[in-house]
Structure 1
């Protein structure tokens, strides 16, 4: 695999007073149906998309027909990196129960929920966190549904399992690239590598899907499910949820280690970016800038300003600095 740092450019700067305190380098790509429209850094830089590609991982669930009757809320959950709030864990439990399965059938691992209320409830009641609290439990519920359809064994996260073979095939087809390999994600599933440009190309295919065939119908259903239920995709206070709520039909999805993607159906564009140092602060600022540049997000909206525009202040409210775009980006 190529060195992800090769060709990286400054994307986001952090200023404290008149001193440049931090600089975040990375790659960002905008694609349309024909290919790269604009890029900063190296579109060929190979990355793990992490959770930003959950829409791709969910494609076989719908294309196979296994998830044909799923409501939009569960489609959003299949694409989610959720907070483990009550709305998320209850929805996962219900989905599993409808399949005749339980928490023990998941293979994502236990995770303490990020949602403050659910975390507090566990502490106060003495209940233990479990696999349904895992931010990827919705994706894994989709894997289990596909697995029931395929008749595979219980270890559906193994790279050679029919579920993951189907995911890899879809992944390579929509990115337009043979994946050079995979890493094991935090939820134990393989995460297939691709270039930043390939990931943006896949998002452009989601954006331009029109329902003309099984894949296109699956893409439309997944992107519309995310837009209809942004609260299921992430949760309160999270960038994915807050930004989708204030845009018109645009789906966005973060991934670990500062990957971010966007699907813009009205513009027919897909966006992907990767910040080298893995900083969420920078990836959220960069995606906000790109969405604003493309006319999908009002840069003056409080949810945009929260990521890029609001001044940095001390804990007493004294002006301290700012997060700004690096010269030459956007």
Structure 2
């Protein structure tokens, strides 16, 4: 088993102060590894980077079409949004459309990370609701599928038909039996796989086209929704949104908690999965940016890139004290 390798570095002046180690895999549509760093067989919890996989049953079951869901809803089903009005207004309308309410969610209330939304709650002496939860789009998809299947209300239970469908889809597109699951921040099961398995799944999404079968058609629709509405997948100022915009919709990106990141590259039919082992977001954002630059998909001097790679670090006086840089292995 290979050890994690340096992927992002913090320099202070001439001194290497900190290093973020990790693993990454680029996979082609046949499931073969094109390039890898660290251990491609490392078992990982992909966290929110697996939301597209969890949304597959929503589309391929016919539930999305039965309830007239469009690209905005499909993008939200894959989202880790920040609770801005553009997110919560759509989630609430989705709930109304399927005859459900905030009380039907099982994701838990979360204070929005969007500054305007958070301050509006404070000014109104209001508490956050479950629709503010960054995973409320995914859970709206779960509720829609629950209604379509006529299943019970506890849709996050691992034995529930919704979660059984998610596991079947997850294992199919990763190409491996999951060794188990952890409970995610939104209370849904999050299944483990290898880093190679996640990259294989992302390559499946990259190569998928509508009309190739229910699963491939679902994958293509979800991927296309993400790149059509990058602002719904994350939000203003967030890496997923800004980097997708920087690449003009050529790549779908999705972060996951504890420094996971994936990329779906349709024009190359490639999938990328990476994990920074210390769980630090800045390391994952720097590493995914470096890989996308290496592949010729992201401009190294684009402002969205420079926020996350070769990024100056300044102190409170505005003095440049160092930089966040990709490690040499990624260059």
Match of 1:308 in 2: 309
Residue 44 of structure 1 aligns with which residue? 41
Trace 1:22-61 onto structure 2 (pairs within 5 A): 22-34=18-30, 35-61=32-58
**What secondary structure, in the 3-state scheme, does the structure 1 residue paired with 2:64 have?**
coil
Q: Distance in 1 between matches of 2:45 and 2:208?
A: 24
| Partner in structure 1 of residue 242 of structure 2 | 242
| Structure 1: distance between partners of 2:283 and 2:8 | 6
Instruction: Please list, as runs of the form range in 1=range in 2, the aligned pairs for 1:88-99 lying within 5 A after superposition.
Output: 88-99=87-98
Question: 2:5 maps to which residue?
Answer: 9
Which residue is equivalent to 1:210?
209
Ranges of 4+ aligned residues in structure 1 off by more than 6 Å:
none
- 2:328 alignment partner, SS class: coil
How far the C-alpha of 1:167 sits from its partner, in A, is: 0.0
Match of 2:16 in 1: 20
Name the CA distance, whole Å, in 2 between partners of 1:271 and 1:167: 21
In the alignment of these two chains, the number of paired residues is 326
Q: How big is the shift at 1:329?
A: 2.6
TM-score normalised according to structure 1 size: 0.97
Aligned-partner Cα distance in 2 for 1:185–1:311: 33
1:116 aligns with 115
Does 1:278 pair with 2:294? no
Which residue is equivalent to 1:165? 164
Distance 2:21 2:152 in 1: 42
Secondary structure of residue in 1 paired with 2:330? coil
Rounded to whole Å, the distance in 2 between the matches of 1:26 and 1:239 is: 19
- How far off is 1:310 after superposition? 2.6
| In 1, Cα distance between equivalents of 2:130 and 2:311 | 37
Structure 1 vs Structure 2 CA RMSD: 1.0
What's the counterpart of residue 232 of structure 1? 232
Moved more, 61-70 or 192-201: 61-70
CA apart distance, 1:144: 0.4
Partner of 1:265: 266
How far is the alpha carbon of 1:327 from its aligned partner? 2.6
1:45-84 matches, cutoff 5 A = 45-68=42-65, 69-84=68-83
In structure 1, distance between residues paired with 2:136 and 2:22: 29
Distance in 2 (CA, whole Å) between partners of 1:246 and 1:325 is 19
Deviation at 1:207, TM superposition (A): 0.3
Aligned counterpart, 1:106: 105
List runs of 5+ in structure 1 lacking aligned partners: none
Contact 2:310–2:326 (Cα < 8 Å) also in 1: no
Greater mean alpha carbon deviation, residues 29-38 or residues 180-189: 29-38
1 CA distance for matches of 2:252 and 2:21? 24
Question: Following the alignment from structure 1 to structure 2, what is the Cα–Cα distance between the partners of residues 106 and 87?
Answer: 19
Stretches of structure 2 that go unaligned for 5 or more consecutive residues are none
Deviations 1:36-91 (CA, angstroms, capped at 9, x unpaired): 10000000000100000100000000000001231101110000000001111111
CA deviation after TM superposition for structure 1 residue 200, in Å: 0.5
